[in-house]
Amino acid sequence: MKLLFIASEVDGLVKTGGLADVAYALPKALQEMGHDVRIVMPAYRQIQDLWQEWPAQSLDCKLSFFNTVTVHCRRGSHESLPVIAVEHPASFDRPGIYDDGNFAYPDNALRFGILSKAALDWCQQEGWVPDIVHGNDWQSALTGFYLAEHFGQDPFFEKTRSVLSIHNGAYQMHCDAGWLAQLGIDQRFYRPADFEDSGHLNLLKGSLGFADGVTTVSPGYASELITPMGGHGLDHKYRALPEPLVGILNGCDYDQWNPETDPWIAAKYATIEEDGKAKCKQSLQKELNLEPNPDTPLLGSICRLVDQKGIHLMIPVILKLMQSHDCQFVMLGSGDENLANQLTYIQRQYPHRFHFFNGYDIGLSHRIEAGLDAFLMPSVFEPCGLNQIYSLRYGTLPLVREVGGLQDTVVRLSQSQRNLKTATGFMFQELTEEALLAETERLLDVYKNKPSQWRSMQHNAMQQRFSWKKSATAYERFYRRLLKSAPNQHPLLTRMATEAEATG
Ligand code: ADP
């Protein structure tokens, strides 16, 4: 199949979150299966050194009748994956990817609208007919809309089907309806059934009605998105999809996340019996200026500092742990300044037992995964989550909330503890500080008082494999199903086509 993958970030080039991991690993796995995959992404300033060496081709990106934007498509590759970087300095030559450090760029809808449309225009210019165009999150959701609306009658794309993957349904891009015209979204689609959302334009909401197929990154999250509680206000849209929403669990890139080969960590290890993991813990304690005690349980977390990650639960629990338990805690993250200040405050109080690294540091994230005893992920919601999967591979037991992809990837130690042969971590349900604290205390009890149980859970955890090949095979099956079926017939588009025919 010819697969065009459109993404706003790609691991190894530009990354702010899990979307980047998928946008690299999934195309790679599909390519390894023999498909012709190409990635379209913005030519950001941050990777200029790379793409400025690539040959450029001028392209007129026709967003609307009166808004044609000239871009340059730079063709190169990233680790054997063909990449088309869309160069449009007014949009992508900026200090940030999505924001200026404080505020989202006000023209984000247009910036990524250009990306979404240029991907299709590039195919036409090249004469390369994709079987599937695969958009990801709101940033490239419009590709499916443009395919259906702008190119609906174009024989070039007659056989092409569009897929939209939801990596985080909370981010939808609400913006002023004034952008409609520049984006080439006909006013008729600005209605509650499509792009209109409480007086604003909602790009994800509207785009959901045009994709031929919609997927998300875990079965658990798929079942949440169709509920009023878990659908981020769009549950009715997910329920109304012509092809039911499919949850395909993300894989893990074990080329990067493997304690046997990881170049970032202090000592490599293949099993928990070797002293590698203990050395990693010792080295992490030293690096972060924590008391060098091998028996003190070392817990931690790595995440964007946003409400979604349950930091507001973690902060009071960390304080209680510091006050009344013998343990250490490491936190790596950046984001919300208020949350960062609270974490900095705890560090000042307990400098040798709590460490907060305010920033984004890939090497440190690997050393934390290897050095911790347990990894906390008390997310409010979690589409898939990657760090709990990495943790399993490093024999670092995850403690997660029973939501989304977390419940699909961690096997909780039951209350009776009879499932020791399969348990890989700890899980709690209620979104309260008390519930998180109770499960953390349970974890600490197993760590301190039942070392053989802890060890057997580490064994189970390290044997888990979430292969991208398996995920890619599921996507491949989904693509083939779409290719065999008729395109999604948006009712308004059908009516508009009939009216146009009637008026000649
Ligand atoms: P999300 O996409 O919601 O941020 P995921 O768990 O799916 O959450 O993916 C987050 C990815 O970003 C992981 O690979 C994680 O290790 C990485 N990450 C998040 N914050 C940091 C940070 N401060 N430093 C290094 N890596 C980080």
pLDDT at 137: 98
As a whole number, mean pLDDT of residues 427-442 equals: 98
**Secondary structure letter of residue 45 according to DSSP:** G
- State the average pLDDT for the chain: 96
**Closest atom, ligand 1, to C-alpha of 384:** 7
How far away, in angstroms, is 25 Cα from ligand 1 center? 15
Residues 362-389 pLDDT 10s: 999 999 999 999 999 999 999 999 999 9
Helix (H) or strand (E) holding 11: none
Compute φ and ψ for 426, nearest 5 degrees: -120, 150
3-state SS string for 440-484: HHHHHHHHHHCHHHHHHHHHHHHHCCCCHHHHHHHHHHHHHHHHH
Nearest atom in ligand 1 to the alpha carbon of residue 250 is 7
Q: Please say if the pLDDT value at position 18 is more than 90.
A: no
Q: Tell me how far apart the alpha carbons of residues 440 and 418 are, in angstroms, rounded to a whole number.
A: 19
| Nearest residue (CA) to ligand 1, atom 24 | 360
> If you average pLDDT over residues 262-269, what whole number do you get?
98
**Six-digit token string for 221:** 């999250």
304 alpha carbon – ligand 1 mean position (Å): 6
Distance 57 CA to ligand 1 centre (A): 34
Sheet architecture: strand order including 36-42: 56-64, 67-78, 81-87, 36-42, 2-6, 132-136, 161-166, 213-216, 246-247
Helix, strand, or coil here: 417?
A: coil
pLDDT-wise least confident of 3-12, 367-376, 410-419, 428-437: 410-419
Question: CB of 22 closer than 6 A to ligand 1?
Answer: no
* pLDDT digits 0-9 by tens, 138-179: 999 999 999 999 999 999 999 999 999 999 999 999 999 999
* Ligand 1 contacts CB of residue 16 (under 6 A): no
Q: To test ligand 1's pocket by mutation, which of 137, 386, 392, 406 has the most ligand atoms within 8 angstroms of CB? A: 386
Q: Determine whether the shortest distance from the Cβ of 360 to ligand 1 is under 6 A.
A: yes
Q: How far is CA 436 from CA 87, 131, 283, 324, in A?
A: 46, 46, 28, 15
Residue-level pLDDT at 444: 98
Ligand 1 center from residue 383 Cα (angstroms): 13
Q: Is 279 annotated as a binding residue?
A: no
Mean pLDDT of 415-431: 95
Q: d(Cα 194, Cα 204) in Å, to the nearest integer?
A: 10
Q: For residue 456, count CB atoms less than 10 angstroms from its CB and return exposed for 0-12, middle for 13-18, buried for 19 or more.
A: middle
Q: Taking Cα atoms as reference points, which of 292, 267, 289, 296 lies closest to residue 279?
A: 267
Q: In 10 A of CB 340, how many CB atoms?
A: 18
Can you give the pLDDT at residue 496? 86
Atom of ligand 1 lying closest to residue 382 CA: 3
- The pLDDT of residue 502: 85
18 lines ligand 1 (CB under 6 A): yes
pLDDT tens readout for residues 188-228: 999 999 999 999 999 999 999 999 999 999 999 999 999 99
Q: Is residue 21 within 6 Å of ligand 1 at its C-beta? A: yes
385 pocket-lining for ligand 1 (C-beta < 6 Å)? yes
73 pLDDT higher than 80: yes
Q: What average pLDDT does range 35-58 have in this prediction?
A: 98
How far apart are the CA of 44 and the centre of ligand 1, in A? Answer: 20
What distance in angstroms lies between residue 17's CA and the mean position of ligand 1's atoms?
A: 5
247 bridge partner residues: 216
CA of 15 to the centre of ligand 1 (A): 9
Q: pLDDT (tens digit, 9 = 90+) per residue, 472-482?
A: 999 999 999 99
Q: 203 alpha carbon to ligand 1 midpoint, in Å?
A: 24
Proportion of the chain above pLDDT 90, given as a percent: 93
HEC readout, 82-107: EEEEEECHHHHCCCCCCECCCCECCC
Q: Which domains, and CATH codes, for the chain?
A: 2-251+470-502 (3.40.50.2000), 276-462 (3.40.50.2000)
Does pLDDT of 504 surpass 80? Answer: no
pLDDT, residue 60, reads 96
Lowest mean pLDDT of 89-93, 270-274, 280-284, 392-396, name the range: 270-274
Give me ligand 1 centre to Cα 123, in Å. 32
User: With a 6 A CB cut-off, is 105 part of the ligand 1 pocket?
Assistant: no
Of the pLDDT bands very low, low, confident and very high (cuts 50, 70, 90), residue 345 is very high
User: Beta 298-305 vs 328-335: how paired, if at all?
Assistant: parallel
| Any ligand 1 atom below 6 A from CB of 361 | yes
Tell me the helices (H) and strands (E) count for the chain, helix number first. Answer: 19, 18
To the nearest 10°, report the CA torsion of 275, 281, 286, 291.
Answer: -110
Answer yes or no: is the C-beta of 20 below 6 A from any ligand 1 atom.
no
Q: What is the pTM of this model?
A: 0.94
Going by alpha carbons, the residue nearest to atom 8 of ligand 1 is 18
Check if 372 has its Cβ closer than 6 Å to any atom of ligand 1: no
> By alpha-carbon position, which residue is closest to atom 26 of ligand 1?
362
Answer whether residue 501 shows pLDDT above 90. Answer: no
For ligand 1, pick from 304, 311, 408 the residue to mutate: most ligand atoms within 8 Å of CB: 304
Q: Distance from the CA of 361 to the center of ligand 1, in angstroms? A: 10
Report whether pLDDT(321) > 90: yes
Question: Residue 267 carries which side chain, given as an amino acid letter?
Answer: A
Query: Quick one: DSSP state of residue 412?
Result: B
